[in-house]
Chain A
Amino acid sequence: MAALGEERGPEGAMSTIPIGRAGTVEEISKLVVALCSGETSYMTGVTIDANGASYTA
Chain B
Amino acid sequence: MRLSGLEGRVAIVTGAASGIGRAVAHRLAREGVPLALVDVYEAGLKELGKGLAGVAVHTFAVDLTDPNEVADLAKRVPDEVGEVSFLINVAGGPVAPSHQDQLPKLPDRAFPIEEIDDLSWAHVLATNLTTAFLVCRAFVPGMKARRSGRIINFSSIAARRGSDRVGVHYAAAKGGVIGLTKTLALELGPYGITVNAIAPGYINTERIAAVAWGRQAPEQHRALLEAIPLGRLGRPDDIGGIIALLCSDAGGYVSGATIDINGGLYFGP
User: Could you tell me the distance in whole angstroms from the C-beta of A42 to the nearest C-beta in chain B?
Assistant: 4
In-complex Cβ contact of A44 among B245, B253, B256, B263 (8 A): B263
B185 proximal to A (CB < 8 A): yes
Q: How near does chain A come to B194, taking the closest CB pair, in angstroms?
A: 7
* B163: interface (CB < 8 Å): no
SS of B interface (majority): mixed
Complex: chain A residue closest to B182, CB-CB: A56
Residue of A nearest to B187 (CB): A18
Report the separation of the CA atoms of residues A41 and B235 in the bound assembly, to the nearest whole angstrom. 10
Nearest A residue (CB) for B241: A39
How many residues does chain A have at the interface if contact means C-beta atoms less than 8 Å apart?
34
Question: B269 to chain A: which residues have CB within 8 Å?
Answer: 57
**Residue A46, interface by CB 8 Å:** yes
Chain B residue, CB-CB nearest to A29: B250
Question: What separation, in Å, do the CA atoms of A50 and B252 have in the docked complex?
Answer: 8
Q: Quote the shortest CB–CB distance from A47 to chain B (angstroms).
A: 7
- When chains A and B are docked, how far (Å) is the Cα of A40 from the Cα of B243? 10
Q: Would you call B210 an interface residue if the criterion is a C-beta within 8 Å of the partner chain's C-beta atoms? A: no
Note all chain A residues with C-beta closer than 8 A to B43: none
Q: List 14 A-B contacts (CB under 8 A).
A: A18-B186, A18-B187, A19-B190, A24-B252, A27-B250, A30-B249, A35-B245, A39-B241, A41-B238, A45-B267, A50-B253, A50-B257, A53-B195, A57-B258
Residues of B at under 8 Å CB distance from A? 1, 3-4, 182, 185-190, 192, 194-195, 229-230, 234-235, 237-238, 240-242, 244-245, 248-264, 267, 269
7 more A-B residue pairs beyond the given contacts A18-B188, A35-B245, A50-B253, with a C-beta to C-beta distance below 8 A = A18-B185, A19-B192, A30-B248, A31-B250, A39-B1, A43-B261, A44-B267
